[in-house]
Chain A
Amino acid sequence: MNDGEGWPTAELDDVRRLRVMAASIPGARVSERVLPRPLDEVWDVMGDLEDGFGRFQPDMRDVRVLRAEHGRVVALARSRFGMRARLEGTLRPGWCWLQSRFLIIGMAAAPEPGGGTRVAVTGGVRVPRRAAIVPVGVRRELDLALTRLEGMV
């Protein structure tokens, strides 16, 4: 047996990983778009939970990060309808996955081979404590989020 040195390996970027997650969660959809800006500029907006994120996610009014260390994050979010959520998850450049009892939020970004950055979002109202999303209005919300994001970068 050898250690595979010199053998080709398959790269699975963060957008592909997000597709895998969404495909595995009943009710989840993915919206994608290619933005004509480099990854770091795009992620400056997407990954800024307390500012940029709240401005492009249609349902978010404000988000406060309580703890962020070693890529793990805990945040308090308030929706436009006054509902609160304690989100827990992972945040690193190109990848964000958060869940609360009633919410799932996934975002990813990866350099697009032809130039620019491919962004992808998924998530919605979580079927409590389950890996499932209530499939109502999901696509519309995700598309709206990306349209807003596009106008911000």
Chain B
Amino acid sequence: MTPPAPSPPPPAPGVDPHDPGVSLARAALAGDTLAMQDLLAHLAPYVARICGPIALDSGPDAAQEALVAVFRSLRTLRDPAALYGWTRAIAVREAVRTARRDARARPAELADLPAPDDPELSADVRDVLTRLSPEHRAVLVLRDLEGLDERSASRLLDIPAGTVKSRLHRARESFRKAWSA
């Protein structure tokens, strides 16, 4: 069996200038803190959706740090219509960075990792993700959750397209093995 069946895309990245996120970003840039809190409420679920599968247990820290980075550098966003792509890039970068940092600080005990041939654990997406590096998880999120093509994913992660391809192959292979166990 393969990972969960494809379904309609999520209500996220849009470039409509009348999009609520875009108009909130404009008002926030003008100094309105109510617009900032509304923009935060608008972006938080999107950022959480990206940071969760990449940073796993460090997801809340990663999402918090990603949103701090988004809001602190909001004034560098030249075109508010690029808000979602820009937020996505920051969220992925912060999620990978936080996951790597926390993995160094708390090396996983071997017993914590699911055994590759344990059918009970392997049915859980989270357990399969745990076996991958943050970089592999990032590729998987961008391609399978966000629907980016290989070229866009490689640009965002600043790695060659071939590396995206091989990481994606490895990540999907892990799911295939897990779901067919």
Cα-based distance from A122 to B147 in the complex (angstroms): 38
Contact A21 B37 (CB under 8 A): yes
Residues of B within 8 A of A16 (CB): 60, 63-64
The number of chain B residues with a CB under 8 A from chain A is 45
Instruction: Tell me the complex Cα distance, A106–B111, Å.
Output: 43
Binds A, one of B50-58, B79-87, B151-159: B50-58
Query: Nearest B residue to A8 by beta-carbon distance?
Result: B52
Q: A7-B125, A23-B71, A88-B34 are in contact. Are A1 and B53 (CB under 8 A)?
A: no
Interface residues of B in 15-39 (CB under 8 A from A): 28, 31-34, 36-38
Question: A24 contacts B49, CB within 8 Å?
Answer: no
Query: Which residues of A in the span 15-33 have a Cβ within 8 Å of any Cβ on B?
Result: 16-17, 19-21, 23-25
Contact partner, A8, options B6, B59, B64, B67, Cβ 8 Å = B59
Give complex CA distance A9, B129 in Å. 12
Say how far B95's CB is from chain A's closest CB, in angstroms: 8
Q: Is B144's beta carbon under 8 Å from chain A? A: yes
Chain A interface residues toward B at CB < 8 A: 1-13, 16-17, 19-21, 23-25, 88-90, 97, 99, 104, 126, 129-132
Enumerate 20 A-B pairs (CB-CB under 8 Å) in ascending A order.
A1-B6, A1-B147, A2-B4, A2-B6, A2-B145, A5-B4, A7-B53, A7-B125, A9-B48, A9-B53, A10-B59, A17-B37, A20-B68, A21-B37, A24-B36, A89-B37, A97-B33, A97-B34, A104-B33, A130-B31
Having A9-B59, A21-B37, A88-B34, one finds 9 other A-B pairs with CB under 8 Å, namely: A1-B6, A2-B4, A10-B55, A12-B67, A16-B63, A17-B40, A20-B40, A89-B37, A97-B34
Which residues of B approach A to under 8 Å, CB–CB? Answer: 3-10, 28, 31-34, 36-38, 40-41, 44, 47-49, 51-53, 55-56, 59-60, 62-64, 67-68, 71-72, 74, 124-126, 129, 144-147
